[in-house]
Amino acid sequence: MKRIAVFDTKKYDKEAFNKYSDKYEFAYFKDLLNEHTVALASGFDAVVCFVNDELNAKVLNKLNENNIHGVFLRCAGYNNVDLKAAYSNKVHVARVPAYSPYAIAEHAFALILSLNRHIHKAYIRSRDFNFNLESLTGFDLHDKTVGVIGTGKIGRVFIDIAKGFGMQVICYDPYPIKDAGYEYVSLDEIYQRSDIISLHCPLTQENHHMINHASLEKMKKGVMIINTSRGGLIDSKALLDGLKEKKIGAVGLDVYEEEANLFYHDNSFKIINDDVLALLISLPNVIITSHQAYLTKEALDNIAMTTVKNMDEYFSDELIMNELCYHCEKVQDKANCYRNKKKRCF
């Protein structure tokens, strides 16, 4: 039976993966995978990682030295993986491209509704039997304009929900979907027209800090910004400045660019050294959740099922359908791409 090291695990991860303990022997580590903990993977046949594990060149070199050539991400994003180093070390990397777009899109709207109708503040008040309505005024979502950045599976579910509220939806995506019936516009138009902006795109070198001082200048006064994708899409200092200057009306974040050593952990007895995060959390028009948008039973089950399927394909020497490959991304002539030939890259 193949032995699998699973990093950055919580109780709910174990419950989902233990359903497949008849196929693989899982060893669960609370630690993040990084240069200091990669030695824990020694003796295993593959590793399973999550969003904040560090799969840089040093870690991938060490996995190669330990004869570990299978890395399985139990998430969709892969900005934490050096794909060039993975290819150089002949390490196969596979992800879970979709597990529950509904979970994340619904969480994004939960943030919108909570911020708009001040549910978080009303809850705290009513716990003290304070039923005063001062400062709890929201606005109708109906007929407001929401700008959706990214129209992948999650973005499309979010759009459906927005239309259910009677909202006007405008979209930006570098790869627009043909015949989708969406109103695609430029990023500048998203910034200028939107009452609410919701991010549903992967983090790339091109869109790192796409929400910054310059883009905020273009936005409506009082705009609401929602991010359930990746923290690095937003310049956190610029976001804080926008809130202080009252350019931004409200912010809902399920991700944060410096979340790696904070999110998923109880830090309630610690002094947080991140002044930007501390100030953001202290503001009454900001809600930050701990990268939990994906956290539904359905999503956890789908993540485990797809990860195990990826491992099945890897260990049986089949084409890994969800593999990420630096070589394939760089091939100009797609006819010569190994994956298009139904072969592995190496």
Closest CA to 152 of 132, 168, 172, 137: 172
- Detail the DSSP E strand segments found in 173-299: 196-199, 223-227, 248-253, 286-288
Annotated catalytic residue within 230, 257, 313, 327: 230
Closest CA to 155 of 146, 142, 143: 146
Residue linked to tokens 């899982």:
26
CA dist., res. 90 & res. 93, Å (int): 9
pLDDT at 326: 73
Instruction: Dig out the tokens for 155 from the structure.
Output: 């973005």
Contact 284, 245 (CB under 8 A): no
Annotated catalytic residue within 259, 298, 313, 323: 259
Task: Please indicate whether residue 230 is annotated as part of the active site.
Answer: yes
CA dist., res. 234 & res. 275, Å (int): 16
> Distance of CA 212 to CAs 149, 221, 222, 226, 258, Å?
15, 15, 16, 14, 16
- Detail the DSSP E strand segments found in the chain: 2-6, 24-28, 46-49, 70-73, 92-94, 145-149, 168-172, 196-199, 223-227, 248-253, 286-288, 323-324
Assigned fold of 101-288:
Rossmann fold (3.40.50)
**Residue boundaries of the structural domains of the chain:** 2-99+297-341, 101-288
Annotated catalytic residue within 69, 156, 291, 313: 291
Q: What is the separation of C-alpha 160 from the centre of its chain, rounded to a whole number of angstroms? A: 20
Task: Please indicate whether residue 259 is annotated as part of the active site.
Answer: yes
101-288 and 2-99+297-341 share a CATH fold:
yes
CA dist., res. 294 & res. 91, Å (int): 27
Contact 158, 179 (CB under 8 A): no
> Distance of CA 28 to CAs 8, 31, 41, 96, Å?
8, 9, 11, 19
Query: What's the start-to-end Cα distance of the chain, in Å?
Result: 24
Closest CA to 52 of 213, 203, 239: 203
Task: Please indicate whether residue 291 is annotated as part of the active site.
Answer: yes
Cβ-proximal residues to 68 (8 Å cutoff; 6+ apart), any chain: 41, 44, 45, 46, 47, 91
pLDDT at 236: 97
pLDDT at 343: 74
pLDDT at 345: 74
DSSP H or E segment with residue 213: helix 213-218
pLDDT at 261: 82
CATH of the structural domain 2-99+297-341, one choice from 3.30.70.260, 3.40.50.1970, 3.40.50.300, 3.40.50.720: 3.40.50.720
Query: What are the average pLDDT values for consecutive 10-residue runs of the chain, which has 346 residues?
Result: 96 97 97 96 97 96 97 93 94 93 97 98 96 96 98 96 98 95 97 98 94 98 97 97 98 95 88 94 97 96 97 94 77 63 72
pLDDT at 118: 97
CA dist., res. 20 & res. 272, Å (int): 38
Q: Which amino acid is at 268?
A: S
DSSP 8-class letter at 219 = S
pLDDT at 325: 79
